[in-house]
Structure 1
Amino acid sequence: MTNVKPIPDGFSTVTPYLIVHDGNAVIQFYERAFGAKEVLRLDGPNNTLAHGEIVIGESRVMLANEHPGMGALSPKSIGGSPVSMLIYVPNVDEAFQQAIDAGATEIRPVQDQFYGDRAGTLKDPFGHQWTLATHTEDVSQEEVERRFAEMMKQAGGSESPS
């Protein structure tokens, strides 16, 4: 019996798999916006993306065109996505602007966060949300909790953290 790794090289324990409306356009956008590199493409009928894999930084992301018959629908078909991806980058301000220039839409501007990141959130043209962040401060759990409580107190407890 061969000794096969339970997690293949290049993968993490959790690997996102995005269902998209137009896989070819999505890959091109992620290359421009996030510096993604395509590592695998399996084309389906009519030049659709049956399965693709890209690498952003050190993380692999899988994606495929939607397939309604299998219950695989894109944000475009369901009117949005309840999932948000997080990308850590060396310079969030530059990376955020690069994504905006590529066609993303700002949801929350880049700003310093109570938990030690400088981060902003955007939506790609295909309906997926992405938070881009640079870690700027190591903050203990106790300090995060204190800052969060203070932020909630100042906001009257009615707003969720950004």
Structure 2
Amino acid sequence: MVGVEIDMVVTDSIKALALYESIFDVVPVEVTNYAQGMNEAVFTMYGTRFHLLDENPEYQLTAPKEGDAKPMWVNVLVADIKDTFGRAIDAGCSEVQPVTELADFGVSNAIFSDPFGYVWLLHQIHREVSFEERSRIFEEQMKAGKE
């Protein structure tokens, strides 16, 4: 068997799973019910496997802290960005970037951070735009900005 799993350390994997279930189409695979610091939850979302682990300094598992740099995020393609972003905000997540339409590129995107310190970038594709076309548009915009 081969595959990829995204592992994330959170302060409370059971609460994080509940949050993600309220925002995305999540399918729980394995969820434990142990003492705080020992729990984990495995779920799939849109074909990707995620593994949440409780923060536990004894095992060198540290969740992101407020103010930490966020060099990584999860990029999720969704069918209805306004609905998904609204559910995230309603569930207690913080807006980083509101839903923004990039009409020339055929997409809308939005960014939120969750209460567990992770950043989520949402994309909705409205129409396919080839890599070559996106590159041409970007180069034109860069050129226009320099004039």
Aligned to 1:56: 45
| Residue 51 (structure 1) shift | 2.5
* CA contact 2:98–2:111 (8 Å) conserved in 1: yes
Confirm or deny: 8 A CA contact 1:41 1:52 kept in the other structure: yes
Q: Tell me how many residue pairs correspond in the alignment.
A: 145
> Which of 1, 25, 30 is the aligned partner of 2:20?
30
Gaps of 5+ in 2: none
Q: 1:108 maps to which residue?
A: 97
Identity of matched residues, %? 28
Unaligned runs of 5+ in 1: 1-5, 8-12, 157-162
Using the size of structure 2 for normalisation, the TM-score is 0.84
Q: Identify the residue that residue 70 of structure 2 maps to in structure 1.
A: 81
Kindly provide the amino acid, as one letter, of the partner of residue 16 in structure 1. I
Relative to structure 1, the CA distance from residue 154 to residue 21 in structure 2 (aligned partners, 3 Å threshold; closer, same or farther) is: farther
| 1:131 matches 2:121 | yes
Corresponding residue for residue 141 of structure 2: 151
The amino acid of 2:116's aligned partner reads F
Indicate whether 1:39 and 2:21 are aligned.
Answer: no
Q: Structure 1 residue 28: deviation in Å? A: 1.2
Question: Amino acid of the residue matched to residue 41 of structure 1?
Answer: V
Give the drift of 1:74. 1.0
Rate the CA distance shift 1:145–1:52 in 2: closer, same or farther, 3 A. Answer: same
Q: 1:99 to 1:77 in 2, by over 3 A?
A: closer
Whether the aligned pair in 2 keeps the contact of 1:80 and 1:128 (CA below 8 Å) is: no
- Asked if the contact 1:21/1:76 (under 8 Å) is kept, the reply is no
Structure 1 pair 140–35 and aligned structure 2 pair: CA distance change class (3 A): closer
Choose 46-55 or 26-35, whichever is displaced more: 46-55
Q: What's the offset of the Cα at 1:84?
A: 0.6
Moved more, 64-73 or 122-131: 64-73
CA shift for structure 1 position 29: 0.9
CA–CA separation in structure 1 for the residues paired with 2:111 and 2:90: 14
The TM-score, its normalising length taken from structure 1, stands at 0.77
Q: Which shows bigger deviation, 95-104 or 66-75?
A: 66-75
Aligned residue identity for 1:42: T
Aligned pair in 2 of structure 1 residues 72, 78: CA closer, same or farther (>3 Å)? farther
Does structure 2 conserve the Cα–Cα contact (< 8 Å) formed by 1:22 and 1:65?
Answer: yes
SS class of match (1:152): helix
The answer (yes or no) to whether the contact 2:76–2:120 under 8 Å persists in 1 is: yes
